[in-house]
Amino acid sequence: MQTQLKIGLVSVSDRASQGIYADQGIPELQRWLENALTEPFAVETRLIPDEQTEIEKTLIELVDQHHCHLVLTTGGTGPAKRDVTPDATLAIADREMPGFGEQMRQVSLHFVPTAILSRQVGVIRKQSLIINLPGQPKAIKETLEGVKDQYGKVLVNGIFSAIPYCLQLIDGIYIDTVPDIIESFRPKSARKEYKEST
């Protein structure tokens, strides 16, 4: 029997972590994942300030101790002095996955010209994939799902279409998505139904 998918959700925000306002990142991510994933999953959530040492410590804990297959951060990815999420992510990474940052900016540029200011990254630590997402709930959904026309046809792929296959390659876990929300892509030879029929 396959191990259950475990996801770490980290919201990086000085003000939300101090209780000045309610965090929106984690609830939005959790809602989206519940609608998009076909399998049940476990979640570890953390709400922390924009402090590099705190972010590094949290990411290491979620990967090394809690063995999350996937860690999604939200917030702290811009050019401001306090935006240090990408710096912390790269500091604890074994390997960078530049395509995730490139594609997130590509998606966001369809909505706002300031997307080029984002420093979001995707990395691998041990057997885990860590991805920095934007801070705004609307932007989180857009980068995960991509750009669609008025009929729902995908014009620019969201990053989550590549995540199930990436997790399969780095840790062997097999997950799938609801096609109406996001269609996960993997080569035919890596699909469960293909393996079962051969």
The number of distinct structural domains making up the chain is 1
Q: Span 140-150, mean pLDDT?
A: 94
Residue 55 is predicted with a pLDDT of 98
pTM of the model: 0.94
Q: How sure is the predictor about 178, in pLDDT bands with cuts at 50, 70 and 90?
A: very high
Asked whether the beta carbons of 149 and 90 are under 8 A apart, the reply is no
Residue 17 is predicted with a pLDDT of 85
Residue 105 sits in which domain range? 5-197
- Torsion region of 52: left, alpha or beta (phi above 0 gives left; psi -120 to 50 gives alpha): alpha
Which one-letter DSSP state was computed for residue 135? S
Structure tokens at 145: 């799902």
CATH of the domain at 153: 3.40.980.10
